[in-house]
Structure 1
């Protein structure tokens, strides 16, 4: 039986179609930018991965070479933020959250190796960039609560920090291969501090909680390296 006239507002479905078309256009525009971003992230990874075979004395040149691909990725993030601002943040942020985590990890690794210069002009290996510094580098706001627009979320930063610990555990082993025995000691203290920090957090995000549980195994990997160095009497002597 046909629905009585007047029960369905005139133009309702036309309006829904128009909204759907608008969302589709935004999604398509975001997808094109994200594909470019993914390529740029891979370029950064290619450059920074060479840090595993680069002696500390030659790191500055490598870190300098990473600045160009990092800068291009930051520009792309700006373009993405501009398009994403046309729609509610949480409607589309799942499209780029993984890419954001990857880029933030790369920024953290670059900064840890000594690529980041803070406001005081200090460049220091082993330093962790906080979330505000990363947001400033990316030129995006951080952890917005009262505005529904593009930003760097705390969960994305924490995922990136876990990736950093995983990368540093690998770097500790490769540093021993190169005869760089001071760096594993620095990494050992750093990853322990990160683990202690995560133990303070009451994480609600399931994937983040599962990944954080693996941190203790990475810390143990580094501790095993330090133990092996101590048995071989290769640890740097304390002054």
Structure 2
């Protein structure tokens, strides 16, 4: 059989199809890179503002939290909206790993701001120690959560849980710095919250290795705060009844 007749067995449309889809994936990848890069810049801004909580007394938190909302979280919300609009045109699980870590960081900044008393509404004013649910986070970002009925952008349960582990780590650090600021009540509140969080995590049946390892690490956050509480108790800075029966969150 001649080479001409042999080459005729391959349909040129096959390679045209591969070329078209290959170029589409490159275009999608470039656009995702642009959006996530901008989103990460907003996340860095928000995290930088939130880092000031470690040197800000509780009585002066509200002005800082307002700045966090205006200069950090609002830009995050806008960029997440752009990401959701663009990615919902494509299979979610084909590309979601490109933005999952960024979304986890966004959720964490929202959870931390809410826990400190920010992001309050008329129906639910801000109060320290309030843990936002995944549904509330979705409402703030104006995106779906834990979608099961369609293939579109959403906040996953795993992203929310991973953000919770980041929250406990940041609060364990704050518990020590709040002692330096003389805010013992906040340290006690954080201790109670993290213990409750760890107890709640024990009820979960975690099959994802990454999530399970991150949740296991929360026990070290608990230990860190317990050490602080123990030291304060030895110094008689916390009444014994308060340290043994901390307020539930």
The TM-score bracket by the shorter chain reads: over 0.9
5+ unaligned residues in a row in structure 2: which ranges?
Answer: 243-249
* Residue pairs, 1:71-82, within 5 angstroms: 71-82=74-85
Aligned to 1:195: 198
Quote the Cα distance in structure 2 between the aligned partners of 1:87 and 1:57.
47
Unaligned runs of 5+ in 1: none
Q: Is the 8 A contact 1:45 1:106 kept in 2?
A: yes
| Contact in 2 for aligned 1:184/1:226 (Cα 8 Å) | yes
Shift of 1:6: 6.8
Is 1:90 matched up with 2:89? Answer: no
Aligned pair 1:172/2:175, yes or no? Answer: yes
Report the counterpart of residue 210 of structure 1 in structure 2.
213
Q: What is the 5 A alignment of 1:26-41?
A: 26-41=28-43
Question: Partner of 2:145 in structure 1?
Answer: 142
Q: Which residue pairs with 1:123 in the alignment? A: 126
Partner of 2:50: 48
For 2:73 and 2:125, how far apart are their aligned partners in 1? 20
Q: Post-superposition shift, 1:120?
A: 1.5
2:246 is matched with none
Aligned CA distance change for structure 1 residues 3 and 131 (closer, same or farther; 3 Å): farther
Matched, 1:231 2:234: yes
Label 1:122 to 1:3 Cα distance change in 2 as closer, same or farther (>3 A).
farther
**Residues 26 and 83 of structure 1 are in contact (CA less than 8 Å); yes or no, is this contact kept in structure 2?**
no
Q: TM-score, normalised by structure 1?
A: 0.95
Q: Distance in 1 between matches of 2:200 and 2:4?
A: 64
> Is the CA contact 1:100–1:156 (under 8 Å) kept in the aligned structure 2?
yes
Q: Which runs of 4+ in 1 moved over 4 A?
A: 1-7, 236-239
Q: CA deviation digits over 1:137-178, x for unaligned, max 9?
A: 011000101211100011000000000000000000000111
Task: Note if contact 1:63-1:115 (Cα within 8 Å) is conserved in structure 2.
Answer: yes
CA deviations 1:87-114 (Å, max 9, x no partner) are 1111111110010011111110001100
Which is worse superposed, 112-121 or 135-144? 112-121
Mapped contact 2:233–2:240 kept (Cα < 8 A): no
Match of 1:17 in 2: 19
List per-residue Cα deviations over 1:42-87 (Å, max 9, x = no partner).
0001111000110010000000101112101100011111111121
Q: Could you tell me how far 1:122 is from its partner in structure 2?
A: 2.0
Structure 2 match to 1:60: 62
- State the 1:188 CA deviation: 0.7
**TM-score after normalising by structure 2:** 0.91
The DSSP-based 3-state class of the residue aligned with 2:202 is helix
Measured against aligned partners, the alpha-carbon deviations of 1:162-219 in whole angstroms (never above 9, x if no partner) come to 0000000000000011111001110011001110111011111111111111111110
